[in-house]
């Protein structure tokens, strides 16, 4: 099964296009977890248990784990192994280096940590991406047009004929020989999302920015999904995992994930 098929299967089985970002920060989790030997994993475990019925993917951001050193990486490993089979596991690592280094990054995330996919930067070109797409069952989400304000600094650069973000999309589309390439496109750019989806109708798209960053959900679903209302994952991190910091944190996260799942599916139903 190639990575595109894996995404379609997960989303159909779960009846969801929701991706939960596990951006777990020690200072933000409920106080009672801090007595645990592994508070990050215990918090993640509770979030996963509560939200799994409503999601198709989880996306730990590596920064939140690397910042804690060895303990953080142990918590990351345990978290990834705890995510149920059939749910997509995405390493939000934003790697991308010369070929030999990328080969070792791919080995670390795909073979050791057992992620299904990773986010990477395209800045170093084809040889930096190649090691990540050797295995058709493992996927990459390549940064194309990100949701942060600074995306305008470089990604909108134009040579007079085409912007850089469109050049990225076009090249990745041609490199998608094994059906395991996707793009990261922020929900904060709905017009550009529409243009890009038309350019790459068959690529999976990871869409951040619908939660705390204020992206428009209806436009993102309308423009970001493919002709069948599929092939997109909508990520929410803080808006779900920190919905409550009280004893009801897990129930609050589950409710928020369910609300997002229902909202996305409602838009899809109207459109398709």
Catalytic annotation on 152? no
pLDDT > 90 fraction of the chain, expressed in percent and rounded: 93
How far is it, in rounded angstroms, from Cα 146 to Cα 157? Answer: 14
Q: What are phi and psi of 29, to 5 degrees?
A: -85, 160
Q: What are phi and psi of 179, to 5 degrees?
A: 55, 40
How far is it, in rounded angstroms, from Cα 173 to Cα 115? Answer: 22
More confident residue, 213 or 204: 204
Per-residue tokens: 80: 């990834």
**271: pLDDT strictly greater than 90:** no
Query: Rounded mean pLDDT of 73-93?
Result: 98
Residue 169 is predicted with a pLDDT of 98
Residue 129 is predicted with a pLDDT of 96
Query: Rounded mean pLDDT of 151-159?
Result: 94
How far is it, in rounded angstroms, from Cα 80 to Cα 61? Answer: 12
Q: Which of 94, 171, 194, 255 is catalytic?
A: 94
Residue 33 is predicted with a pLDDT of 92
Q: Which residue has the tokens 């030997």?
A: 37
Query: Rounded mean pLDDT of 91-115?
Result: 96
**212: pLDDT strictly greater than 80:** no
Query: Rounded mean pLDDT of 135-163?
Result: 95
How far is it, in rounded angstroms, from Cα 36 to Cα 90? Answer: 26
Could you tell me the domains of the chain?
3-271 (3.20.20.70)
Residue 174 is predicted with a pLDDT of 97
Residue 211 is predicted with a pLDDT of 66
How far is it, in rounded angstroms, from Cα 239 to Cα 94? Answer: 21
Binned at pLDDT 50, 70 and 90, residue 35 comes out as confident
Average pLDDT, the chain: 96
User: What pTM does this model have?
Assistant: 0.97
């Amino acid at each position: 099964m190639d990575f595109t098929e894996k995404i379609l299967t997960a989303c159909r089985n779960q009846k969801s296009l929701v991706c939960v970002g596990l951006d777990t920060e020690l200072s933000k989790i409920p106080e009672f977890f801090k007595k645990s030997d592994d508070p990050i994993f215990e918090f993640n475990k509770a979030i996963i248990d509560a939200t799994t019925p409503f999601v198709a993917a989880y996306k730990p951001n590596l920064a939140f784990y690397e910042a804690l050193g060895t303990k953080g990486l142990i918590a990351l490993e345990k978290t990834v192994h705890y995510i149920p089979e059939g749910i997509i596991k995405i390493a939000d690592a934003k790697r991308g280096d010369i070929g030999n280094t990328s080969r070792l990054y791919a080995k670390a995330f795909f073979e050791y940590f057992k992620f299904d996919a990773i986010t990477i930067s395209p800045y170093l070109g084809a040889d930096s991406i190649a090691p990540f797409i050797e295995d058709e069952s493992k996927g990459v989400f390549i940064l194309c047009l990100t949701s942060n304000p600074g995306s305008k600094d470089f990604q909108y650069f134009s040579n007079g004929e085409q912007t850089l973000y469109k050049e990225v999309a076009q090249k990745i589309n041609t490199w998608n020989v094994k059906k395991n390439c996707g793009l990261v496109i922020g929900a904060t750019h709905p017009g550009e999302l529409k243009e890009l989806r038309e350019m790459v109708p068959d690529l999976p798209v990871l869409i951040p920015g619908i939660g705390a960053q204020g992206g428009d959900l209806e436009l993102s679903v309308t423009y970001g999904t493919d002709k069948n209302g599929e092939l997109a994952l909508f990520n929410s991190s803080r808006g779900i995992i920190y919905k409550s910091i009280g004893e009801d944190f897990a129930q609050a996260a589950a409710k928020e994930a369910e609300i997002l799942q229902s909202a996305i599916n409602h838009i899809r139903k109207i459109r398709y």
